[in-house]
Structure 1
Amino acid sequence: MGDLFGKLGIDWKLLLFQVVNFLILLFLLKKFLYKPILNLLEKRQTKIRDGLKKAEESEREWQKIKKIKEKETMKAEEKAVQIIAKARQSAEAKEKEILENTSLKTEKMIEEAKINISMEREKITDEIKKEMAKYIILAAGKVLGRTLKEEDEKKIAEETLNALNKNA
């Protein structure tokens, strides 16, 4: 075999030495260089995968929060609409109540005014009748040419008032 390598121009001892050196170098590179580099690459790959998972999880969480926020916003808007509607109804009811109270008070005041006017009319009518009775008594006294007795005055006053009441 040495002759064959010799004819080809290869020193088999040197070749063997180089193969051993190459294997030693390969062993050392694998142990001290390739394994740490592969471990480092594996760690980076793991970190990248974890980062992507966390990013996806964060995105999902953000979407959930966004949906919750939208729901809460819609609920708040609905509640605001309900509050406004209740306030409007309350204001309308209060307005109606105030108008009814005002109407009732106005009607009551009108009734009281009518009663007062009626009482004043009766009072004035009574006073006018009394005054007319006095003037009739005075006129009767002057027509008769004498002063009338108190009994006659009362009788004439009653007859006059009765006649006025019948005409009224």
Structure 2
Amino acid sequence: MSGVFVNFNGTSILQLMSFFLLMYLLIKYLYRPFLNLLDKRREEIKSEYDKAENARKEANELKKKAELEMKNLNEKINTMYEEAKERVKKYEESEKERVQNEISSMLDKARKEIAEEQLKAEKALRTKVVTLTIALASKIIQKDLDDKSKREFLMNQLSRFGGKE
């Protein structure tokens, strides 16, 4: 049988059989193991991708937890800071009040002491004035002087007593 384009003879059949045998062997020993290798590699890649995806999700969850914990810590820190500020403010106020009370009591005590000393000084002054008056009166009585002499004598005595004090 011969045709315009195809010429079949024994060699052609042998070549055709060799071709199919080669195809069978290539498919069986090369193509299928290669496809199996590709499938195996695809499964490994998919497995690695899934692991990476799971790790990414887990990392995101951990990140969210860490952010939440950080937010809670910041809130606690802010609360503690505000409480500490409030305690310091209360302490300052109580200390200020205590110091003011102390100063006030010291001032009152000092005023009382000043008033007592003033009373003592006035008493002492009165006593001295009375003593001087009595002394002057007795000297005037002892001396029999005229008005001019009495005045000079009084002035002399007053300046003498005034100079000592």
Normalized against structure 2, the TM-score is what?
Answer: 0.74
1:93 aligns with 2:94: yes
Q: Tell me the alpha carbon deviations over residues 73-132 of structure 1, each in whole angstroms, 9 at most, x when there is no partner.
A: 000000000010000001111111111111111111100000000000000000001001
Higher relative contact order (CA 8 A, sep 6+): 1
Q: Distance in 2 between matches of 1:30 and 1:16?
A: 19
Identity, in percent, stands at 9
Q: Distance in 2 between matches of 1:132 and 1:54?
A: 113
Q: Distance in 2 between matches of 1:103 and 1:60?
A: 63
- CA-atom RMSD in angstroms: 2.1
- Note the C-alpha offset of 1:20: 3.8
Q: Which amino acid aligns with 2:95?
A: K
Which structure 2 residue ranges, 5 or more long, are not aligned?
1-7, 145-165
Q: Distance in 2 between matches of 1:30 and 1:42?
A: 18
Q: Which amino acid aligns with 2:69?
A: I
- 1:112 is matched with 113
Q: Distance in 1 between matches of 2:108 and 2:119?
A: 16
- Note the C-alpha offset of 1:33: 1.1
Q: Distance in 1 between matches of 2:60 and 2:34?
A: 38
- Note the C-alpha offset of 1:19: 4.3
- 2:37 is matched with 36
- 1:128 is matched with 129
- 2:25 is matched with 24
Q: Distance in 2 between matches of 1:21 and 1:110?
A: 127
Q: Distance in 2 between matches of 1:13 and 1:31?
A: 25
Q: Distance in 2 between matches of 1:31 and 1:15?
A: 22
- 1:71 is matched with 72
User: What secondary structure, in the 3-state scheme, does the structure 1 residue paired with 2:143 have?
Assistant: helix
User: What secondary structure, in the 3-state scheme, does the structure 1 residue paired with 2:91 have?
Assistant: helix
Which structure 1 residue ranges, 5 or more long, are not aligned?
1-8, 144-168
Q: Which amino acid aligns with 1:48?
A: Y
1:138 aligns with 2:144: no
- 1:83 is matched with 84
User: What secondary structure, in the 3-state scheme, does the structure 2 residue paired with 1:100 have?
Assistant: helix
- Note the C-alpha offset of 1:16: 5.6
**Count of aligned pairs:** 135
- Note the C-alpha offset of 1:26: 1.4
Q: Distance in 1 between matches of 2:22 and 2:31?
A: 14
Q: Distance in 1 between matches of 2:130 and 2:43?
A: 127
